[in-house]
Structure 1
Amino acid sequence: MRAKRWVIASPDTERVRVLSRETGYTPLTAAVLSARGIDTPQAAADYLSCDVCGLHDPFGLTDMDKAVEVVREVIDRGEKMVVYGDYDVDGITATCTLVDYLRSKGAKCEYYIPNRLTDGYGLTRPAMEQLYEQGTRLLITVDSGITANEEIAVARELGMQVVITDHHECHENLPDAQAVVDCKRTDDTYPFSSLAGVGVAFKLICALEGDTLSMLDRYADLVALGTVADVMPIVGENRIIVAEGLKKLSVTANIGLEMLLREAGMKNRRLTSSTISYVLAPRINAAGRMGKAELAAELFLTKDPVRAQALAAELCEQNKLRQNEENKILEQTLTRLRREYNPLEDKIIVLAGEGWHQGVIGIVCSRLCDRYGCPVVLISVDEDGVGKGSGRSIGSFNLFEALTSCEDLFERYGGHALAAGLTVQADRIEELRTRLRKYAETHVTMAELVPQLHIDCMVQSEWLTQENIESLSVLEPYGMKNAEPVFCMKNMTVEEITPLSSDRHVRLSLIKDGKRFSAIWFGIGAGGLGFVEGNTVDAAFHLEINEFRGRRSVQLTICDVQLSDCEHLADQKILNLYNTLMQDGPLTAREARLLLPDRKDLVAVWRHVTCRAEDGRLSVPDGALSRRVAWESRRDINIGKLFVCLDVFQESGLISYHFKEGMLNILLKPYEGKADISGSVVLATLQSMAG
């Protein structure tokens, strides 16, 4: 995983003080608001408001009046209508919310959700023909339809009326439907353009009912679920909807949602937007990814508790199957990347594999994108030689534009700057890989691929009290454009490192100004740290109150840790000695002994490198390896001594190594028999200097 570049905001101290005094917020909360450009009492009140009075009139959306008129007429005539949804959480919750409401009004309403694996995304001509033949006379799209001009033309020709509700970007020419309700319409004057698909569907319900508040009370849980899962900005109307939805979620009247909470172990626990993102959404999305979105739809629509419990259990089982498929593909891609990926040169990853599950390659893309810090495209090739791919990118690289540069190779493609999908014939994949690599060479630098960590502010140890941390709750709910605050403290001493869960996570004891802080770092083991006990580090973290056996305490949830300047200075002093050695300069006996490894030191370094190397390669941040070896071996191995060990191995033909972009890169060389290091010049030179 690439090292992160910290971007630390510096809120104006005086403005923070004034904001805290005039609003009553603690300095910690005021500092976060100020760091985000919210530095007046009125701006803070507007930004943080969750008042339901802030919801806008649904008839402010263009064509909403037409949509309401069409739907009411079809209900009155007793004709069949179908809600056409999508297979992700936003699409499923939008479908179920609208279907449930329409049925409660006596409508003959069914739903249709395309199968991700066989139908693909959006409206299709076969689906239009099938629905008409089944008696559908009104088609209402949710979370889809805004670019389906041809398919909607087919529906109209067959004799169906069409109402579109969507939230995606519009083309210049809108589909020829009875009503097109989309907050992204260029001619729309609605004051909030970031509703989710379920949010737009909810607005249709509010308009039909003529009572927004009663509909919010009834459906806020499902609307919030889809809004957070679709990574919508949690500001404006979305903030109000999600805040109300989280309150509603804990006492939900939706039997299916309650059973899913129980099955996921979240019933009677504090629910946050993170609960949706990391617990509920993956289970619902899993159904769609595995081609069984109808299970999730039925879960939210059923009134039978027994059936709901069975469906919730099935969704959790589908999620396990999804995880298994995901891990299988991830392991295959990692194995290939150890051989094929060059972290010093490659700016994009393009891989294809036969039989990869189309529903999960997008998740694997995201994981590889995070791991390698570069754009990733994965393509699943079926037995007919057709490749269906997904791509994920980083902020500095527009993936959609990159694919557009290769559009002549695709049967179809679409997406946006950070995520995209494509269909390509297998015999064109190699050319696609070559052209995307050339495009990346001229459109992004290695420096731009370094991931950034945005930190709201530096904090002092005395600020980290339970009262101050609890006061941060006024900032919730968190999400896109209102991220959970990240804080930073510098020059903390690492007192203790405790591996957890078979070294998948670590607990740290950190000391600052005589105060001890407990910290937990998920997803990294002690062997992957770039520091050891006794080192001085800078830590970036979220803040929370940990409750264990009735005891409450401050806990830091680590986002990243870097060596403090004093550690870099200490390394540099040793490196100066090492550089003097390499330039045949003089060293005192004491200085030589600081660099001179003994046999156990050499064994420790060699064992670490060979055990940690993957397919003969090891790349680590340039200041981390000496500390990692020191941690594992419990030996005093400084950075200069490490380089001497590497030089000895390089002289003996065992390895080669070099530096680039802050990374130390080691390549193991083929070697038979027992290595002889007795002829090492650097070792002999140091031994003579050390006396």
Structure 2
Amino acid sequence: MKTKHWVIAALDEPRVRMLAHDCACAPLTAAVLSARGIDTAQAAERYLSCDSKGLHDPFLMADMDRAVQTVRRALENNEHIVVYGDYDVDGITATCIMVDYLRSKGAVCEYYIPNRLNEGYGLSRAAMERLYGQGTRLLITVDSGITADEEIAAARALGMKVVITDHHECHDSLPEADAVVDCKRADCDYPFGSLAGVGVAFKLICALEGDAGTVLARYADLLALGTVADVMPIVGENRIIVAAGLKKMAETSNIGLEMLLREAGMKHKRLTSAAISFVLAPRINAAGRMGQAELAAELFLTRDPVRAQMLAAELCEQNKRRQNEENQILTQALARLRMEYNPLEDKIIVLAGEGWHHGVIGIVCSRLCDRYGCPVVLIALDEDGTGKGSGRSVKGFNLFEALTSCGDLLQRYGGHELAAGLTVDAAHIEALRERLRAYAENHVSMADLIPQLPIDCMIEPEWITLENIQALSVLEPYGMQNEEPVFCMKDLTVEEITPISSDRHVRLTLVKDGKRWSAMLFGTGVGGLGFAQGNMVDAAFHLEINEFRGRRSVQLTLCDVRLSECENLADQKLLNLYNTYMADGPLTAREARILLPDRSDLVAVWRHIVCRAEDGRLSVPSNALSRRIAWESRREINIGKLFVCLDVFSESSLISYHFKEGMLNILLKPYEGKADISGSVVLATLQSMAG
């Protein structure tokens, strides 16, 4: 497991008690609110409100009046309108609500979504010319257009009117469109600046219709889908939108969305933001990633149930193909990294590969970034020698600024601190790799790359009740800036470890003060644990209610697990013994016996290293290996004894090893015949001391 730095909010018990009283909420809920800086009843009411009355007047947005006038004039004149969208979930849902609304008003309205693989993001001059030639006289952009100065100038020169609706950052100067509606405009006084692209499109529809409540009721499901999928903060207006949307999804009137819910197995399940993020959004995004975003748009616009079912099935199939492409790239990347990546020194990963799918490498970037805890740039090489890349970063390393420092090597690039895209000539990739490595070396430390885990509060066993967990639901919907609460407890005993799904996940039984809980750790098998049965651990987790065969029980969904301080202190005492021995200091016979491995111990350690090493390398937390081997072999192998075993193997030229910043790194050396440790001075010396 990747080491995380826990940031535990201080618990102000008097303030929590007062807030619980004033808000008439459970103490656990009040503790979460307090941890997030909400310490009055009035602030809590504002934070938790999902009332549609909290939606702001759309005309507070700059240029909204001009946008409404331009669209209404086009409707009155029966002009051909095209909505120009984007190929992600936000862009697709924005496209669909705008097209559906305008068609309901009698407009001749079509949509255009650029092909991710052939055209890339945003507007293009070729598309402008093609659309004008097809009769388009009003172009409305959604989730795009704010930086397309040249393309919009070309569209207007041809004779098209252009209304931009977008939510991305603006340049110093705006495109010369008929209207530019973007809550990020420097001169825009709109009270909420974190709407998704679909949210801005929604605001234009509200302004056209004059009744925000009616529009929200009509499109809340698609609005929530786009807002959550685009990882917008679930506060303010977005909280109102998503709360309404999750309720509407359960009984959606959009036949395409209903079919997608059925096809994804979610029709009769409780719908949450997590369901959007991990079940629905990937299926919709898959169409865009594979170059067929129009399938998703058609799904949400069709009125034909048979066609909708076919499209929903096709999106799920596209997602499977995307997953296959993703897994192939990930497998290749991991194989390369086992040979090329040094976790002690490398602060950024830059890899290029032929045949990698342009639309998928961004997801692989995210997975590698999470796995290694450092910035990652992957570049897909085309046959013509052009590399199209995608990057993901971690908090504290500005990827956009890093690429800017290498701008002379790039054909084009764009993005922000945590995600970016680029195009580079294959001949410059090696230079780009070296420049990015040098930039990372000068701008980030290894300590900066340790991911942080914010924890709302430390709790006691008696707080974990079905009633308290149920009371947390007032905090929903969860999402960015309103994350699902994370709690922690210290000094739990690991009573049982059970591998799940072919050891892809683990179920633990944790015990404290006579209370016992089932805890799920996803994405880590038994071999990835830094502890064994019987160890004491600290756990950080979400609290959930598990329903199975009509029975409701508490379940902990683990975010992180680490050895308790008592275990670390025990390790330190053993390491002190080991360090005394290595410094030729005095040991009693009893102390020497604690460190002295017998033949079976040496065999257990050797077998574990050989079996677990990949390409001759094994990298694990330094305090985890002895516990893993002890758990597997059922032998008493402490951390001091482990290091003696490693010294014996190193002395016999079987391995080399070193550890730094908590990670133990072992490299197997090539040898022929049977491994011989009979001449080990380390072993002989300890044996003589043990008596």
Answer whether TM exceeds 0.5 for this pair: yes
Counterpart secondary structure, 1:329: helix
Partner of 1:661: 661
Between 675-684 and 288-297, the greater mean CA deviation after superposition: 675-684
Return the offset for 1:584.
Answer: 2.1
Task: Tell me how far apart the structure 2 counterparts of residues 631 and 549 of structure 1 sit (CA, whole Å).
Answer: 33
Partner of 2:173: 173
Partner of 1:188: 188
Counterpart secondary structure, 1:231: coil
Partner of 2:95: 95
Q: For residues 548-592 of structure 1, give each alpha carbon's deviation from its aligned partner in whole angstroms, at most 9, with x where no partner exists.
A: 111111000000001000001111111122122212223222222
Aligned partner letter, 2:316: C
Within-5 A mapping of 1:271-420: 271-420=271-420
Q: For residues 626-652 of structure 1, give each alpha carbon's deviation from its aligned partner in whole angstroms, at most 9, with x where no partner exists.
A: 011112212111101111110110010
Counterpart secondary structure, 2:218: helix
Task: Tell me how far apart the structure 2 counterparts of residues 582 and 575 of structure 1 sit (CA, whole Å).
Answer: 10
CA contact (8 A) 1:496 1:533 kept: yes
Structure 1: runs of 5 or more not aligned: none
Aligned partner letter, 2:303: K
Partner of 2:23: 23
Task: Tell me how far apart the structure 1 counterparts of residues 344 and 617 of structure 2 sit (CA, whole Å).
Answer: 12
Return the offset for 1:245.
Answer: 0.2
Return the offset for 1:495.
Answer: 0.4
Return the offset for 1:311.
Answer: 0.4
Q: For residues 378-420 of structure 1, give each alpha carbon's deviation from its aligned partner in whole angstroms, at most 9, with x where no partner exists.
A: 0011000011000000011000000000111111110000000
Partner of 2:638: 638
Q: For residues 639-684 of structure 1, give each alpha carbon's deviation from its aligned partner in whole angstroms, at most 9, with x where no partner exists.
A: 0111111011001000111111111111111111111111111111
Return the offset for 1:238.
Answer: 0.2
Task: Tell me how far apart the structure 2 counterparts of residues 91 and 632 of structure 1 sit (CA, whole Å).
Answer: 50
Q: For residues 4-37 of structure 1, give each alpha carbon's deviation from its aligned partner in whole angstroms, at most 9, with x where no partner exists.
A: 1111111311111110111111111111110111
Return the offset for 1:690.
Answer: 2.2
Aligned partner letter, 1:269: K
Task: Tell me how far apart the structure 1 counterparts of residues 359 and 183 of structure 2 sit (CA, whole Å).
Answer: 28
Task: Tell me how far apart the structure 1 counterparts of residues 11 and 283 of structure 2 sit (CA, whole Å).
Answer: 39
2:116 aligned with 1:105: no
2:72 aligned with 1:72: yes
Return the offset for 1:138.
Answer: 0.3
Counterpart secondary structure, 1:111: strand
Return the offset for 1:158.
Answer: 0.4
Return the offset for 1:121.
Answer: 0.3
Return the offset for 1:689.
Answer: 2.2
Q: For residues 180-213 of structure 1, give each alpha carbon's deviation from its aligned partner in whole angstroms, at most 9, with x where no partner exists.
A: 0001011001100000000000011111111110
Partner of 2:580: 580
Task: Tell me how far apart the structure 2 counterparts of residues 551 and 487 of structure 1 sit (CA, whole Å).
Answer: 24
Aligned partner letter, 2:210: G
Q: For residues 131-167 of structure 1, give each alpha carbon's deviation from its aligned partner in whole angstroms, at most 9, with x where no partner exists.
A: 0000000000000000000000000000000000000
Q: For residues 418-450 of structure 1, give each alpha carbon's deviation from its aligned partner in whole angstroms, at most 9, with x where no partner exists.
A: 000001110011111111111111000011011
CA contact (8 A) 1:101 1:205 kept: yes
Partner of 2:488: 488
Task: Tell me how far apart the structure 2 counterparts of residues 355 and 502 of structure 1 sit (CA, whole Å).
Answer: 30
Partner of 1:552: 552
Return the offset for 1:114.
Answer: 0.2
Partner of 1:249: 249
Task: Tell me how far apart the structure 2 counterparts of residues 611 and 373 of structure 1 sit (CA, whole Å).
Answer: 25
Counterpart secondary structure, 1:492: strand
Partner of 1:530: 530
Provide the identity percentage.
80
Aligned partner letter, 2:542: H
Return the offset for 1:478.
Answer: 0.4
Partner of 2:201: 201
CA contact (8 A) 1:520 1:555 kept: yes
Task: Tell me how far apart the structure 1 counterparts of residues 124 and 635 of structure 2 sit (CA, whole Å).
Answer: 65
Aligned partner letter, 1:298: E
Between 588-597 and 92-101, the greater mean CA deviation after superposition: 588-597
Counterpart secondary structure, 1:485: coil
Aligned partner letter, 1:31: A
Return the offset for 1:241.
Answer: 0.3
Aligned partner letter, 1:354: E
CA contact (8 A) 1:347 1:375 kept: yes
CA contact (8 A) 1:527 1:632 kept: no
Task: Tell me how far apart the structure 2 counterparts of residues 335 and 103 of structure 1 sit (CA, whole Å).
Answer: 51
How many residues matched? 691
Partner of 1:520: 520
Partner of 2:690: 690
Partner of 1:427: 427
Partner of 1:231: 231
The two structures, once aligned, show a CA RMSD in angstroms of 0.8
Task: Tell me how far apart the structure 2 counterparts of residues 350 and 382 of structure 1 sit (CA, whole Å).
Answer: 17
Q: For residues 308-352 of structure 1, give each alpha carbon's deviation from its aligned partner in whole angstroms, at most 9, with x where no partner exists.
A: 000000000000000000000000000001111111111111111
Task: Tell me how far apart the structure 2 counterparts of residues 196 and 258 of structure 1 sit (CA, whole Å).
Answer: 23
Partner of 1:679: 679
2:211 aligned with 1:215: no
Task: Tell me how far apart the structure 1 counterparts of residues 642 and 438 of structure 2 sit (CA, whole Å).
Answer: 37
Task: Tell me how far apart the structure 1 counterparts of residues 108 and 355 of structure 2 sit (CA, whole Å).
Answer: 40
Within-5 A mapping of 1:583-602: 583-602=583-602
Counterpart secondary structure, 1:136: coil
Counterpart secondary structure, 1:484: coil
CA contact (8 A) 1:392 1:399 kept: yes
Task: Tell me how far apart the structure 2 counterparts of residues 672 and 25 of structure 1 sit (CA, whole Å).
Answer: 69
Aligned partner letter, 2:329: I
Q: For residues 69-100 of structure 1, give each alpha carbon's deviation from its aligned partner in whole angstroms, at most 9, with x where no partner exists.
A: 11111111111000000000000000001000
Within-5 A mapping of 1:600-639: 600-639=600-639
Task: Tell me how far apart the structure 1 counterparts of residues 475 and 328 of structure 2 sit (CA, whole Å).
Answer: 39
Task: Tell me how far apart the structure 2 counterparts of residues 247 and 163 of structure 1 sit (CA, whole Å).
Answer: 32
Task: Tell me how far apart the structure 2 counterparts of residues 580 and 405 of structure 1 sit (CA, whole Å).
Answer: 49
Q: For residues 199-240 of structure 1, give each alpha carbon's deviation from its aligned partner in whole angstroms, at most 9, with x where no partner exists.
A: 000011111111110110000000010000000000000000
The two structures have a TM-score, normalised by structure 2, of: 0.99
Between 282-291 and 580-589, the greater mean CA deviation after superposition: 580-589
Partner of 1:34: 34
Task: Tell me how far apart the structure 1 counterparts of residues 626 and 84 of structure 2 sit (CA, whole Å).
Answer: 58
Counterpart secondary structure, 2:558: strand
Counterpart secondary structure, 2:137: strand
Q: For residues 239-290 of structure 1, give each alpha carbon's deviation from its aligned partner in whole angstroms, at most 9, with x where no partner exists.
A: 0000000000000000000000000000111000001000000000000000
Task: Tell me how far apart the structure 1 counterparts of residues 209 and 88 of structure 2 sit (CA, whole Å).
Answer: 26
Partner of 2:119: 119
Counterpart secondary structure, 1:506: strand
Task: Tell me how far apart the structure 1 counterparts of residues 684 and 24 of structure 2 sit (CA, whole Å).
Answer: 68
Aligned partner letter, 1:367: R
CA contact (8 A) 1:527 1:631 kept: no
Task: Tell me how far apart the structure 2 counterparts of residues 388 and 573 of structure 1 sit (CA, whole Å).
Answer: 52
Counterpart secondary structure, 2:96: helix
Structure 2: runs of 5 or more not aligned: none
CA contact (8 A) 1:385 1:426 kept: yes
Partner of 2:11: 11
Task: Tell me how far apart the structure 1 counterparts of residues 348 and 596 of structure 2 sit (CA, whole Å).
Answer: 41
Task: Tell me how far apart the structure 2 counterparts of residues 454 and 465 of structure 1 sit (CA, whole Å).
Answer: 22
CA contact (8 A) 1:519 1:557 kept: yes
Partner of 1:567: 567
Within-5 A mapping of 1:435-474: 435-474=435-474
Aligned partner letter, 1:417: E
Task: Tell me how far apart the structure 1 counterparts of residues 257 and 88 of structure 2 sit (CA, whole Å).
Answer: 16
Task: Tell me how far apart the structure 2 counterparts of residues 155 and 198 of structure 1 sit (CA, whole Å).
Answer: 23
